[in-house]
């Protein structure tokens, strides 16, 4: 089947009807609760952007259109009055709030489509384009699209990190490698004020905002969170409030592992705001811990959240699911489908039937299709052998989210050459490569990197900028799989513009040799999450 | 002569036993080979014209963790008369992935008729049959007072440092140190040397005993034992023997 079952622009009435139908099967007494539920996306082009300080109420359940159907945002604690709420108010000096980069319509992340739309609508004046990190470098001319090219083309914000790295107490860590700037299209890494040779040496890398939803899964400490990191043996981060070990699966480089530390960092570095009060932190954390995000329908491909639907799909199942469980793929599948959709249902359209069969096949591929996983740091080094014959679900093993079950930074080649996306040079090429490029030279005092040797070229050293470890170069903490259709592009560096490009990356990287049908099915499955 | 014969016979017998033992023990460095099967791959290595079976792909907590293409492997073990995947089984076996890159080690043998495991692997390549990647034995009972000094031994691969297996020893040692409010932890590192079957003595690099001991002490500090006094020592003599010489001893003194 083709991907023609994706929804196009649907009418608001149709979406309302669909929403009411879904509510009716989901929530007893749904009509009484209708005031708490809203169709918050405008399929006819009505604004879906949640502006900081708008003071609106975020309903208990809201659905928003995306290219594959709709994503649902579920507030398990009920409607959220955003007036005065620190997640939604522009507390900082640049007009941003947390919601600026964690938009409900984008599955509580930020899609490239939304970024471009905001540029067009505000002529680059929206706070998300603040020069601090919404530009390739703060000293570039504002309002010029070229200054914001990484945000406008890849959805990437600048993350400036000290070099050499510092531990949580602020003490410098002696890195196991030297770093050299090979290419710096944004100009920040070679800038005398912001770069590596400045008085406060910094390295700028460019990354996508992550999902602020389903965080009960992301921050769980029930499984895989011990005093030592399961993949490296090194000490794990501990919660400064409790002293207990954390799972370190939240940020791309795991530089902070609690919501409080992350929000304090974001307030300072993204909102240009001095300090959140304990009360503000508590309110933000309370909101973040109760919000769930997942795709709820596939447009003409049908609902994903009917009462007898798959137990792994939709935000309601996420709310009710077991948190902190490693999928065993017999009783607890990573993404369970149960007995749903095995047979045609009365009233099911051919498009719905076709999509559901495709999603089921995609789920099967995700769990069963073996391929050789090779030369991936912190996967092939943790006892499975190199190569190891396994499936997608091997690494993406966390029940309901497809995250890693233990501290999950891993190098699959998204930022390291030769696998990272690079514009090939030739005499006819008109577009320069967007991403910076660094040369890493590992010290003779440590073993060479087992797959790259002592010299590594990377667009983003990832975790290594925090740990200083040669073996961590290019390792990125894997993300949750939910609400994918709402938040393209993918990977930490936005190098996959859509899910097909993401699948193609894996196909190329691991020589999987997916058939066209397998790619379509896997894409539909991922879109349905 | 009647007396002498048995003595000679005894010494001949003793000699042949020693020779047999020597033959049974094997230590060599070679490229690992992946032999695919209809289920999980076997890991093989060739030495002096014989193909040996090292083990299979299983999961993180398995006793045998396979080596890596792109690197040579040090094999230390005992030859058996069993065969798996068409190769002679070495059991028990200890392998070490050699740190330097060896791109010539790149052989993957496809599935072939007649080459199979001959048993059901504990963990298939796809869905896990319920076996989790981390299925460690149940932890020992929590120690009760009075707390006595207790020793833990961290084993190492050849030239190895802390890795994914280290927490299996470190976590109980840390737990005991916290439980007993340890005032001192003695950490002593050792350096090993392996006599290969071809007569080559393979020594770990000088200084590794100290590096290991310091790394272990840092791990304890990083895991929260900031107030404990660490006595870090090292024995840099390369003790000739097996994997047991590559170790760090931790003595938790309450």
Does the bond joining B146 to the residue before it have cis omega, within 30 degrees of 0? yes
Does one domain contain both B98 and B179? no
- In the three-class reduction of DSSP (H, G, I as helix; E, B as strand; rest coil), residue A445 is classed as coil
Are A210 and A255 a contacting pair, CB within 8 Å?
no
Could you tell me which of A289, A293, A288 has the C-alpha nearest to residue A318? Answer: A293
Could you tell me which of A461, A448, A517 has the C-alpha nearest to residue A182? Answer: A461
Map out the domains of chain A as residue ranges: 324-527
DSSP state of A83: T
The secondary element (H helix, E strand) that includes residue B184 is strand B184-195
Does one domain contain both B155 and B214? yes
Residues 6+ apart with CB under 8 A from A45: A9
Task: Give B60 to chain A, closest Cα distance, Å.
Answer: 5
Local confidence band at A12 (pLDDT 50, 70, 90 cut-offs): very low
Q: Count Cβ atoms below 10 Å from residue B2 Cβ, excluding itself.
A: 5
Q: Beta strand A437-442 with A177-183: parallel, antiparallel or unpaired?
A: antiparallel
pLDDT at B128: 72
Distance CA A247, CA A238 (A): 9
pLDDT at B60: 87
Q: Beta strand B25-30 with B73-84: parallel, antiparallel or unpaired?
A: antiparallel
Among B90, B109, B128, identify where a domain stops: B109
Q: Count Cβ atoms below 10 Å from residue B171 Cβ, excluding itself.
A: 16
Residue A38 has pLDDT above 80, yes or no: no
Q: Beta strand B42-47 with A57-58: parallel, antiparallel or unpaired?
A: unpaired
For residue A426, how far is the Cα from the chain centroid? 33
Structure-token pair, residue B212: 């290991």
Residue B166 within a domain: yes
Structure-token pair, residue A429: 């090429």
pLDDT at A496: 98
Per the listing, tokens 């994997």 go with B243
Among left, alpha and beta (phi > 0; psi -120 to 50; other), residue B36 is beta
Are A27 and A49 a contacting pair, CB within 8 Å?
no
Structure-token pair, residue A477: 């903490």
Tell me the residues of chain A between 240 and 279 that have a Cβ less than 8 Å away from chain B.
243, 245
SS3 for A168-229 is CCCCECCCCEEEEEEECCCCCCCCCCCCCCCCCCEEEEEECCCCCCCHHHHCCCCCCCCCEC
Does one domain contain both B249 and B155? yes
End-to-end Cα separation, chain B, in angstroms:
64
Tell me the residues of chain A between 283 and 342 that have a Cβ less than 8 Å away from chain B.
326, 328-331
Task: Give me the helices (H) in A256-323, please.
Answer: 259-269, 278-288, 314-320
- In the three-class reduction of DSSP (H, G, I as helix; E, B as strand; rest coil), residue B247 is classed as strand
Q: Which residues of A79-117 are buried (b: 16+ CB within 10 A; e: fewer)?
A: bbebeebbbbbbbbebbbbbbbbbbbbbbbbbbbbbbee
Does one domain contain both B36 and B103? yes
Tell me the residues of chain A between 4 and 63 that have a Cβ less than 8 Å away from chain B.
none
Residues β-bridged to residue B88: B52, B83
Distance CA A446, CA A424 (A): 33
Residue A185 has pLDDT above 90, yes or no: yes
What one-character-per-residue DSSP string does A330-350 give?
SSS-SS--TTTTSS--TT--H
Residue B205 within a domain: yes
Does one domain contain both B94 and B179? no
Contact A227 B126 (CB under 8 A): no
Structure-token pair, residue A379: 């996967």
Distances (CA, A) of A466 to A132, A200, A381: 21, 16, 20
How many domains are contained in chain B? 2
DSSP state of A119: H
Residue A493 has pLDDT above 60, yes or no: yes
The secondary element (H helix, E strand) that includes residue A149 is helix A149-154
Contact A367 B67 (CB under 8 A): no
Question: From A365, which residue of chain B is nearest by alpha-carbon distance?
Answer: B126
Q: Beta strand A69-75 with A37-39: parallel, antiparallel or unpaired?
A: unpaired
Of A234, A367, A389, the CB nearest to B41: A389
Contact B128 A450 (CB under 8 A): no
Structure-token pair, residue A491: 């990977």
Q: How many CA atoms lie within 13 A of B189 on its CB side?
A: 25
Average pLDDT over residues A482-489: 98
For residue A366, how far is the Cα from the chain centroid? 19
Does B131 or A509 have the greater pLDDT score? A509
Structure-token pair, residue B71: 């690197």
The model's pTM: 0.91
Contact A227 B223 (CB under 8 A): yes
Contact A447 B99 (CB under 8 A): yes
Domain with B177 in it: 150-253
Chain B residue numbers with beta carbons less than 8 Å from the beta carbon of A409 are none
Distance CA B36, CA B42 (A): 6
pLDDT at A19: 41
Q: What percent of chain A has pLDDT over 90?
A: 84
Task: Give A335 to chain B, closest Cα distance, Å.
Answer: 12
Are A482 and A396 a contacting pair, CB within 8 Å?
no
Percent of residues in chain A assigned helix, strand, coil, to nearest 5 = 30, 15, 55
CATH number, position B101: 2.40.50
Local confidence band at A79 (pLDDT 50, 70, 90 cut-offs): very high
pLDDT at B10: 39
Distance CA A473, CA A461 (A): 5
Average pLDDT over residues A338-360: 97
Contact A448 B99 (CB under 8 A): yes
Distance CA A412, CA A426 (A): 26
Distance CA A418, CA A30 (A): 53
Contact B162 A232 (CB under 8 A): yes
- Rg of chain B in Å (alpha carbons): 22
Q: Beta strand B229-240 with B184-195: parallel, antiparallel or unpaired?
A: parallel
- Using the Cβ of A443 and the Cβ atoms of chain B, whether some distance falls under 8 Å is answered with no
- Using the Cβ of A454 and the Cβ atoms of chain B, whether some distance falls under 8 Å is answered with no
The secondary element (H helix, E strand) that includes residue A34 is none
Residues β-bridged to residue B68: A386
- The alpha carbon dihedral of A125, A128, A134, A139 has a sign of positive
Among B109, B134, B165, identify where a domain stops: B109
Are A190 and A197 a contacting pair, CB within 8 Å?
yes
Query: Between the CA atoms of A157, A162, A165 and A169, what dihedral angle is there, to the nearest 10 degrees?
Result: -100
Local confidence band at A328 (pLDDT 50, 70, 90 cut-offs): confident
Average pLDDT over residues A375-384: 96
Structure-token pair, residue A156: 């990437």
Contact A368 B127 (CB under 8 A): yes
Residue B114 within a domain: no
Residues 6+ apart with CB under 8 A from B187: B213, B216, B217, B220, B230, B231, B232, B233, B248, B249, B250, B251
pLDDT digits (tens, 9 = 90+) for A97-152: 999 999 999 999 999 999 999 999 999 999 999 999 999 999 999 999 999 999 99
Residue B200 within a domain: yes
Residue B13 within a domain: no
Local confidence band at A49 (pLDDT 50, 70, 90 cut-offs): very high
Of A233, A387, A393, the CB nearest to B164: A233
Distance CA A440, CA A470 (A): 8
Residue A16 has pLDDT above 60, yes or no: no
Task: Give B20 to chain A, closest Cα distance, Å.
Answer: 32
CATH number, position B174: 3.30.1330.60
Are A138 and A147 a contacting pair, CB within 8 Å?
no
Residue B139 within a domain: no
Contact A389 B36 (CB under 8 A): yes
Residue B19 within a domain: no
The secondary element (H helix, E strand) that includes residue A20 is helix A12-26
Question: What dotted CATH number matches A324-527?
Answer: 1.10.760.10
Average pLDDT, chain A: 91
Could you tell me which of A386, A267, A302 has the C-alpha nearest to residue A69? Answer: A302
Residues β-bridged to residue A177: A442
Among B109, B140, B164, identify where a domain stops: B109
Chain B residue numbers with beta carbons less than 8 Å from the beta carbon of A444 are none
Are B180 and B174 a contacting pair, CB within 8 Å?
no
Residue B18 within a domain: no
Q: What percent of chain A has pLDDT over 70?
A: 91
User: What are the mean pLDDT values of chain B's consecutive 10-residue runs (254 residues total)?
Assistant: 36 49 84 97 98 95 95 98 97 98 98 92 80 73 92 98 94 96 98 97 97 97 95 96 96 97
Does one domain contain both B29 and B101? yes
């Amino acid at each position: 089947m083709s991907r023609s079952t994706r929804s196009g622009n649907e009418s608001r009435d149709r979406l309302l009807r669909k929403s009411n139908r879904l509510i009716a099967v989901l929530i007893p007494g749904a009509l009484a609760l209708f005031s708490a539920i809203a169709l918050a996306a405008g399929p006819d082009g009505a604004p879906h952007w949640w502006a900081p300080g708008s003071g609106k109420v975020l309903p208990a359940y809201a659905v928003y259109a995306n290219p594959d159907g709709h994503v649902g945002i579920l507030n398990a604690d009920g409607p959220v009055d955003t007036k005065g709420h620190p997640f939604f108010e522009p507390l900082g000096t640049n007009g941003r709030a947390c919601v600026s980069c964690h938009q409900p319509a984008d599955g509580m992340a930020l899609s490239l489509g939304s970024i471009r739309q905001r540029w067009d609508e505000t002529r680059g004046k929206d706070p998300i384009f603040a020069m601090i990190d919404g530009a390739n470098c703060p000293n570039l001319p504002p309002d010029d699209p070229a200054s914001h090219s990484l945000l406008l083309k890849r959805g990437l914000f600048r993350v400036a990190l000290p070099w050499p790295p510092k531990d949580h107490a602020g003490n410098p860590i002696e890195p196991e490698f030297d770093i050299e700037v090979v290419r710096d299209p944004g100009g920040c890494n070679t800038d005398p004020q912001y770069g590596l040779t400045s008085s406060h040496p910094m390295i700028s890398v460019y990354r996508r905002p992550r999902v602020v939803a389903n965080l009960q899964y992301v921050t769980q400490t029930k499984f895989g969170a011990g005093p030592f990191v399961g993949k490296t043996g090194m000490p794990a981060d501990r919660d400064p409030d409790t002293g207990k070990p954390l799972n370190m699966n939240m940020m791309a480089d795991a530089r902070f592992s609690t919501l409080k530390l992350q929000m304090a960092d974001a307030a300072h570095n993204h909102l240009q705001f001095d300090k959140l009060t304990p009360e503000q932190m508590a309110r933000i954390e309370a909101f973040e811990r109760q919000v769930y995000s997942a795709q709820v329908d596939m447009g003409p491909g049908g609902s994903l959240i009917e009462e007898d639907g798959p137990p792994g799909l939709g935000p309601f199942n996420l709310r009710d699911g077991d948190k902190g469980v490693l999928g065993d793929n017999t009783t607890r599948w990573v993404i369970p489908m149960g007995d749903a959709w095995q047979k045609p249902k009365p009233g099911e359209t051919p498009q719905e039937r076709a999509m559901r069969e495709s999603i089921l096949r995609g789920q099967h591929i995700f769990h069963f299709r073996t391929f050789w996983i090779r030369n991936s740091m912190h996967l092939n080094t943790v006892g499975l052998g190199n190569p190891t014959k396994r499936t997608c679900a091997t690494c993406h093993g966390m029940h309901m989210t497809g995250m890693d079950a233990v501290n999950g930074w891993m190098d699959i080649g998204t930022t390291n050459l030769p696998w990272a996306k690079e514009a090939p040079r030739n005499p006819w090429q008109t577009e320069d490569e967007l991403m910076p490029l660094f040369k890493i030279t590992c010290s003779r005092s440590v073993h060479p990197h087992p797959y790259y040797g002592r010299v590594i070229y990377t667009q983003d050293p990832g975790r290594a900028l925090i740990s200083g470890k040669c073996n961590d170069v290019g390792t990125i903490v894997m993300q949750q799989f939910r609400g994918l259709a709402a938040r393209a592009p993918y990977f930490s560096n936005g190098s996959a513009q859509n899910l097909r490009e993401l699948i193609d990356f894996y196909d190329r990287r691991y020589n999987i040799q997916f058939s066209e049908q397998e790619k379509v099915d896997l894409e539909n499955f991922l879109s349905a999450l | 002569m009647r007396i002498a014969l048995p003595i000679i016979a005894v010494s001949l017998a003793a000699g042949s036993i020693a020779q047999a033992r020597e033959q049974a023990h094997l230590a060599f460095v070679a490229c690992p080979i992946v032999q695919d099967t209809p289920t999980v791959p076997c890991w093989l290595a060739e030495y002096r014209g014989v193909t040996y079976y090292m083990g299979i792909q299983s999961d993180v907590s398995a006793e045998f963790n396979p080596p890596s293409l792109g690197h040579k492997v040090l094999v230390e073990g005992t030859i058996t008369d069993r065969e798996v995947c068409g190769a002679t089984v070495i059991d028990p076996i200890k392998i070490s992935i050699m740190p330097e890159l060896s791109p010539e080690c790149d052989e993957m043998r496809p599935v072939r008729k007649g080459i199979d495991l001959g048993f059901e692997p504990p963990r298939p390549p796809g869905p896990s049959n319920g076996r989790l990647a981390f299925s460690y034995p149940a932890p020992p009972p929590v120690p009760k007072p009075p707390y006595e000094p207790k020793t833990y031994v961290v084993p190492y691969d050849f030239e190895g440092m802390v890795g994914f297996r280290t927490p299996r020893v470190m976590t109980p040692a840390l737990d005991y140190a916290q439980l007993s409010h340890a005032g001192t932890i003695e950490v002593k590192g050792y350096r090993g040397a392996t006599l290969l079957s071809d007569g080559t003595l393979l020594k770990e690099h000088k200084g590794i005993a100290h590096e290991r001991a310091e790394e272990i002490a840092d791990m304890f500090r990083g895991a929260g034992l900031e107030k404990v006094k660490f006595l870090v020592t090292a024995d840099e003599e390369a003790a000739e023997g097996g994997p047991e010489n590559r170790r760090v001893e931790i003595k938790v003194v309450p």
